[in-house]
Chain A
Amino acid sequence: MKHNRDSQGLVLVVDDERLIQRIVRAWLEDAGYVVETFGCGEDCLAALDRVLPDAIVLDLSMPGLGGLETLRQIKVRSQHLPVVMLTADLSVNSVVSAMNLGAYDYLTKPIDPAKLTTTLRNAVQHCHLSVKLAHLERAAEGTGYGLTCHSPAMKETLVALNRVAAGDITVLIQGESGAGKELVARAIHSHSSRRDGPFVALNCAAIPETLQESELFGFEKGAFTGAEQRRIGRFEEADQGTLFLDEVGELSLGLQAKLLRAIQERAFSRVGGNKEIRSNYRLLVATHQPLQSLVAQGKFREDFYFRIAVFELEVPPLRARREDIAPLARHFASEFAEALGHAAELSNAALEVLLSYSWPGNVRELKNAVHRGLVSANGSTVQPEHLPPRLLQPTSPVAAVTESSPAATSPSLPPKEVPLTVAGAEAIAVVDKAGVGLSMEAIERQAILCALTRNEGVLAKVVKELGIGRTTLYRKMKKFQIASEESGGEV
């Protein structure tokens, strides 16, 4: 779409009479619209491959495709696009047919300029409202929680977010599953100059590899079995807005190459088509995978990585932003209480449980836990027993160990500095002195001991180094009888 943002919108005028084209253009341009004129429906439909107008003025009686068929095909492509029909004769049948096909309104010739501009203004507003409503509906289907930010780690993320949002720079958002990467992407979009445009999200992991290309670029009619109609892809859908590709690490190498070209040249073709299509979007991508490692393993294209990692933004895991747990939990409780139709409060004891848990599933897991608690409590205050049982498993002595990182310090549970004493940590061996292979458990035990020694007992560093969740670490430490100094050192 090439009209500037100060205009009232882009209007396509379709009439086989040049005199009508010229006068309608004059009136609409005077009213602040950007206008493109076409002499037939076919040309208008072809133009819709490259522009997304705010409204169309369409003559009912034209040679060739004709007004009604053109209208029908416009509506197949864009249901919300308002079309104002022009007719010289008030033939009831044709007007009724046009309205039944989804025309926004009709005007009779000779056209009254005041009526035309009023109708167009209403039509464009209608279009924008319809699109906004669709966006709101899509947003409502999403996660529903905001960016709660009481922790230093999250505040740091938000500072970076604010710095990067206003521009048009491509952002790579990294973070564990459930940490809120899409929320961060939505926040960037809503703070950008594209906020009035669409936010189009695609989870690459949720789309089978064979469908990823058509989902991204769209397809032409007949491109493959079942492609009964042309469909635009996410790239086109995101024109003037933001395209968010989640779990970008799941894309095949072949598709990465195609995406690289589409991103570099801002142009692509639909599957089964040759026509070059342009779209003006901002790209945000996210992943929970270490893309650089994937690059080193040859599983991710290096050129594609550098194209998308223009600015990297880290969304911290929930365990690194414990100050946010209670506010988030209360927020979810309030949200679900409304949906469940009854009041819901979290007891202090329940909050303590939430604060003590490691949240490997991050914010998404917290949200689900609160939901379960509210449903189980059935209108009364949520107690620990209403929460998922895994949160209530007896705490091993090491579970009380807190970390030195301030971001991981609970605001409600005073930090207890309990240094770990790790005895017997040696270089990891895979065979014993007799050359007999050690069991996996024995090797795991050594790995944990070594990691604890190297990281001076800071569990956040240990789990990061070992690439396991905190819960897993606790379980294994308990199993291998690795304990803190307080409990008497290694058993």
Chain B
Amino acid sequence: MSERSAIRVSISSVVMPLIPDFLEARAEDAVRIPALADARDYAEVRRLGHNMKGNGAAYGFVFITEIGAEIERAAHDEDGSKANAAAARLSDYLTRVIVVAVDQ
């Protein structure tokens, strides 16, 4: 990961202790979604996307909310390739994101 491609996200210091677990869980989601899509378990894909949509911005990651909505929609349409593509973008995002704590 080059410094130039890094994505800086400012996070409230209040929730900072929760961020490592949150990002780790999203990385696991990014791995699980293609496998679930291949198995046509769209209900679970949809649930994961729905949760990401609900949690991402709450934790300070607007991109995760957006990608979660995309994954949920893809699962609703039972479109495995779109779900896989979104999971890949999520995975890429997670390798580039840098979190900066800010006091609010």
Contacts and interface: CB of A to CB of B under 8 A. Distances in A.
A357 B17 CA distance: 75
A19 interface: yes
Contact of B55 (A19, A26, A27, A113): A19
A110 B53 contact: yes
A113 B65 CA distance: 15
A13 to B, nearest CB: 13
B91 interface: no
B59 A27 contact: no
B17 to A, nearest CB: 8
Interface string B17-59: 1100010010000000000000000000000001101111111
A17 interface: yes
A19 B50 contact: no
Interface range for A: 10 to 19
B55 A110 contact: yes
Contacts, number: 43
Contacts of A416: none
9 contacts: A20-B55, A20-B58, A23-B18, A26-B15, A27-B15, A88-B54, A110-B56, A113-B14, A113-B58
B53 to A, nearest CB: 7
Contacts of A155: none
A109 B18 contact: no
A22 B58 contact: no
A116 to B, nearest CB: 9
B25 A23 contact: no
A19 B29 CA distance: 14
A109 B54 contact: yes
A343 interface: no
A30 interface: yes
A418 interface: no
A19 B22 contact: yes
Contact of B54 (A20, A27, A30): A20
Interface centre among B12, B22, B54, B55 (most CB of A within 10 A): B54
Interface of A: 17, 19-20, 22-23, 26-27, 30, 88, 109-111, 113
B37 to A, nearest CB: 21
Which label, helix, strand, loop or mixed, suits the secondary structure of the A interface?
helix
A242 B46 CA distance: 52
B18 A110 contact: no
Of the candidates B15, B17, B57, B58, the one having the most CB atoms from chain A within 10 angstroms of its own CB is B58
A316 B58 CA distance: 63
Interface string B69-99: 0000000000000000000000000000000
Contacts of A23: 15, 18, 55, 58-59
Given A88-B50, A110-B65, A17 B55 contact: yes
B42 to A, nearest CB: 18
Contacts of A30: 14
Contact of A110 (B17, B22, B57): B57
Contact of B14 (A19, A27, A88, A111): A27
Contacts of B25: 19
Contacts of B51: 17, 19
B14 A109 contact: no
Contacts of B59: 19, 23
A22 B18 contact: yes
Q: Which of A22, A30, A110, A113 has the most CB of B within 10 A?
A: A110
A489 to B, nearest CB: 90
Contacts of A27: 14-15
A22 B65 CA distance: 17
Contact of A109 (B12, B15, B58): B58
A26 B54 contact: no
A20 B52 CA distance: 11
